[in-house]
Amino acid sequence: MLDRKRPTFGWFDVVWLLFLLGLAFLPPIDEIHKQLTLLAIGVLQIFEGRLVAWQPNRGRVYSVILKILLATLLIDHTSGNINGVYYPTIESSYYPVYYLPIVTAAIYFGPLGSLFWTAMSSLAYCYFLIPAIYIEDYELTREGATELAIRILFMFLAGVLVNRFAIENRRRTQQYQELSETLEETNRQLQRAEADARRSERLAALGQMSAGLAHEIRNPLGVIKGSAEMLGQKVKDSQPLVRELAGFIGTEVNRLNSLVARFLDFARPSHLDLRPARIPDIVDHAIESVHNQFPDANIKIERDYAENLPPVTVDAQLCEQVFINLVTNAYQAMDCQGGVLRVEIAPESSSGKAGVAVTLEDTGPGVPAELREQIFNPFFTSKKEGVGLGLSIVAKIVDDHRGWIKLEGRDSKGARFRVFLPESPNA
């Protein structure tokens, strides 16, 4: 259940009640209907904000209508006696009470709405001309008609001026809101840029370390592999156990060589072979390659490719590696037992650069919120047999193309990666 705030009284409400209290002590003081009407006006004015918040559209209309009715009642009970008989007339000194619905309408509605409700208030005020017709000693003189016209014109003038101020105030408020949203977006972009800069620094440092370490490891691995092969050939069938162990050594050396090659791929500066290419073709080829690796996978592929996609200047081979890694992660996350991989490709603009955005969304378990900021870091992995370089290499390739990759948070299960590649990496 939503917690409703209890009505509270501010200093302006206190001032408003003091003004109404002053009117209540002015003649006619003995008119109980006048006091009740003023009380109703005060209560309505205080709780008007709650009414509008409860019914944003109808509440404004109800507020204006109620104020017109209460203003009419107040005029009706403050007119006076003529020849000892009480008559409601248009000459009541309380006629400015009609400014309340006029100002309210000017604040809540546009120019046409403000003029409409001002006209309704004026007609309600002119209604008191009808009882005056039946008073024998009452005559609407030329001066009286002029006074009535002046009062009504001032009502319209007040409505127009307040409405103009309210429109300008709403326009300024909207400008401030747009400025606030722009500042928030700029702040988010700055935070992303700082995170990217920190990640690039980590990648550069770890890349240099990986390059040196990989070169130092590759040489002894070659000696170990060569020695294991010579040992296996020498013993041949005379010592099966020794030959089997030599085979294990060669297998593990090949695995270490593969790992060293990945280190070098991560550390080696990219030399992009940039050519115009169609991203859907690259993505489809990557999906086909992964599917061939997992022929028994029960994964359904849903494609949503926008038409008339602009050609993007990329290194097709490296970009295909990006999507192969992402699709492979999705297959592995769904255990290849069953799931849906949805791929969306659409034009997008980021930081003033036009390009293409690729979204890959799977139905796997997803990535925990506490790990989302770390998955692109080198050597971070949640897999038992992983080394944590797949997504780091993906991020490096995308960064080299002056694009970005994000893991978007989701309330439901599954991971949602978005990759943006600009039309020209040099832009």
Q: Is 348's pLDDT higher than 70?
A: yes
Local confidence band at 136 (pLDDT 50, 70, 90 cut-offs):
low
Shared-domain flag, residues 261 and 353: no
Compare 301 and 24 and report the one with higher pLDDT.
301
pLDDT score, position 345: 93
Shared-domain flag, residues 44 and 126: yes
Region label for 84, one of left (φ > 0), alpha (ψ between -120 and 50) or beta (otherwise)? left
Q: Looking at the domain assignment, is residue 162 inside a domain?
A: no
Q: Looking at the domain assignment, is residue 152 inside a domain?
A: no
Per residue in 367-384, pLDDT tens? Answer: 877 777 777 766 666 665
What's the CA dihedral at 275, 281, 287, 291 to 10 degrees? Answer: -110
Nearest to 121 by CA among 145, 152, 94, 91: 152
Q: What is the average per-residue pLDDT within 256-282? A: 75
Angstrom CA distances, 139 to 106, 145, 182, 248, 329, stand at 34, 10, 64, 120, 92
Q: Is 272's pLDDT higher than 90?
A: no
Task: Evaluate the CA torsion angle 380, 385, 390, 391 in order and state its sign.
Answer: negative
For strands 275-277 and 312-314, give the pairing: antiparallel
Spatial distance between the Cα atoms of 387 and 397, rounded to a whole number of angstroms: 18
Shared-domain flag, residues 208 and 132: no
Q: Looking at the domain assignment, is residue 281 inside a domain?
A: yes
Q: What is the average per-residue pLDDT within 14-40? A: 80
CATH code at position 230: 1.10.287
The pTM assigned to this predicted structure is: 0.48
pLDDT score, position 273: 82
Shared-domain flag, residues 295 and 326: yes
pLDDT score, position 84: 47
Compare 357 and 374 and report the one with higher pLDDT.
357
Q: Looking at the domain assignment, is residue 192 inside a domain?
A: no
Per residue in 212-259, pLDDT tens? Answer: 666 677 778 777 877 777 777 777 667 777 777 777 787 777 777 766
Q: Looking at the domain assignment, is residue 382 inside a domain?
A: yes
Share of the chain above pLDDT 90, in %: 24
Shared-domain flag, residues 21 and 123: yes
Q: Is 325's pLDDT higher than 70?
A: yes
Last residue of a domain, which of 95, 120, 140?
Answer: 140
Last residue of a domain, which of 110, 140, 170?
Answer: 140
pLDDT score, position 135: 56
Shared-domain flag, residues 248 and 287: no
Last residue of a domain, which of 92, 115, 140?
Answer: 140
What's the CA dihedral at 167, 168, 170, 173 to 10 degrees? Answer: 180
Shared-domain flag, residues 224 and 304: no
**Candidate from 6-10, 90-94, 175-179, 300-304 with smallest mean pLDDT:** 6-10
Shared-domain flag, residues 262 and 279: no
Q: What is the mean pLDDT of the chain?
A: 80
Q: Is 132's pLDDT higher than 90?
A: no
CATH code at position 299: 3.30.565.10
Shared-domain flag, residues 290 and 389: yes
Nearest to 337 by CA among 302, 297, 300, 383: 297
Domain count, the chain: 3
Q: Looking at the domain assignment, is residue 23 inside a domain?
A: yes
Spatial distance between the Cα atoms of 144 and 154, rounded to a whole number of angstroms: 15
Q: Looking at the domain assignment, is residue 373 inside a domain?
A: yes
Spatial distance between the Cα atoms of 53 and 4, rounded to a whole number of angstroms: 11
Shared-domain flag, residues 373 and 337: yes
H/E element holding 352? none
Shared-domain flag, residues 112 and 131: yes
Amino acid symbol at 100: L
Range of the domain at 319: 275-422
Helix or strand or coil: residue 422? strand
Q: What is the average per-residue pLDDT within 303-326? A: 89
**Candidate from 69-78, 109-118, 188-197 with smallest mean pLDDT:** 188-197
